[in-house]
Amino acid sequence: MHRSEAQGSSKGAIFSLGKRLRKLKRFLTAEIWVTDGDTRRRRYQSYPEYLAHQKSKLSQIRNLDRKRRILMDALRKRLSAVTWIKSGMSVLCLGARQGGECEVFIEMGTFAVGIDLNPGVENRHVMAGDFHQLQFADASIDCVFTNCLEHAFEVSTVIDEVRRVLKPGGLFIAEIVLGSRDERGRDPGEHDSVWWDHSESVIDKIKQGGFNEIQRQEFGKPWAGIQVVCSSPITMKASSARDLIAVDGFAPLGA
């Protein structure tokens, strides 16, 4: 056998071993997940159990500062490609932990704050809050950003809340981790509460929630995912939508 053939067959063996190990892992962890089509939800006895599980993550993370910097470097690049983000906009970041994403939005000239179940102590950018029940008024925010939908108890409730707080034609920027059956995807981690085979199924849920997709880009850092930029539905009269364009300087898509 030639050397290149031998290398090829050992690569093939490693690939198929990896595939079998992933299948075994899925089988062994099956009892903690409830499957519904493309999506799996972690089995929690109660909502308080879900909240406690999610809040417990912060104390288990090492190198928080390094993680924040890696996130910020990656986000700076891809958010600069989202031309709908304008200075002076209000931005709410969901599941923002230390607030690295808020800092990037602030660098872009926006007014940005975050919410998190566990923002830690003395967090300048992030306040306590649950993204299933936001503490903000209807139609009061220009842009919502999240990279945490896999930490939801119920993804569709989060999407409904985003639609409620966004101004008509507002921006929803969701960064969705690639799922178990996506190319370059992965299986869920210890603190993921919902998981999918394909990230496209989450994008479908966002669209079913009334959002229009206006841009997408794939990314690889800090993890492999898809960023989708969507506009929220316009439920106001056309004349008010025109006022919004004049005042805020961005065109709500679908207007």
Binding positions for ligand SAM, rule: CB under 6 A: 54, 57, 67, 71, 95-97, 100-101, 115-118, 130-132, 147-148, 151
Distances (CA, A) of 246 to 138, 228, 234: 21, 25, 15
CB of residue 38 to ligand SAM, shortest distance in Å: 21
Least distance (Å) from ligand SAM to the CB of residue 101? 6
Question: Smallest distance from the beta carbon of 148 to ligand SAM, in angstroms?
Answer: 4
- Of the pair 105, 250, the CB lying nearest ligand SAM is at 105
Name the DSSP class of 255.
-
Residue among 44 and 255 whose Cβ is closer to ligand SAM: 44
Shortest approach of ligand SAM to residue 67 CB, angstroms? Answer: 6
Which CB sits closer to ligand SAM, 104 or 234? 104
Query: Mapped to the 3 state alphabet, what secondary structure does 209-250 carry?
Result: CCCEEEEEEEECCCCCEEEEEEECCCCCCHHHHHHHHHHHCC
Q: How far is the CB of 137 from ligand SAM (least distance, A)?
A: 18
Cβ atoms of 108 and 89 closer than 8 Å: no
CB of 16 to ligand SAM, least distance (A): 31
Task: Give the position of tokens 């053939």.
Answer: 5
Placement of tokens 């109660």 in the chain = 46
User: DSSP string spanning 62-112?
Assistant: S-HHHHHHHHHHHHHHHHTT-TT--TT-EEEEET-TT-HHHHHHHHTT-EE
Pick 89 or 148: Cβ nearer ligand SAM: 148
Considering the complex, state which of residue 179 and residue 252 has its C-beta at the smaller distance from ligand SAM: 179
Q: State residue 91 phi and psi, 5-degree precision.
A: -130, 130
Query: In the sheet that 194-196 helps form, which strands lie side by side, from edge to edge?
Result: 33-36, 39-42, 194-196
SS3 at position 58 = helix
Residue nearest to ligand SAM (CB): 95
Residue 4 or 59: the one with the smaller Cβ distance to ligand SAM is 59
How far is the C-alpha of 147 from the C-alpha of 207, rounded, in Å?
A: 17
CB of 213 to ligand SAM, least distance (A): 21
Identify which of residues 228 and 234 has a Cβ nearer to ligand SAM in the complex. 228
User: How distant is the alpha carbon of residue 232 from its chain centre?
Assistant: 16
**50: DSSP letter:** H
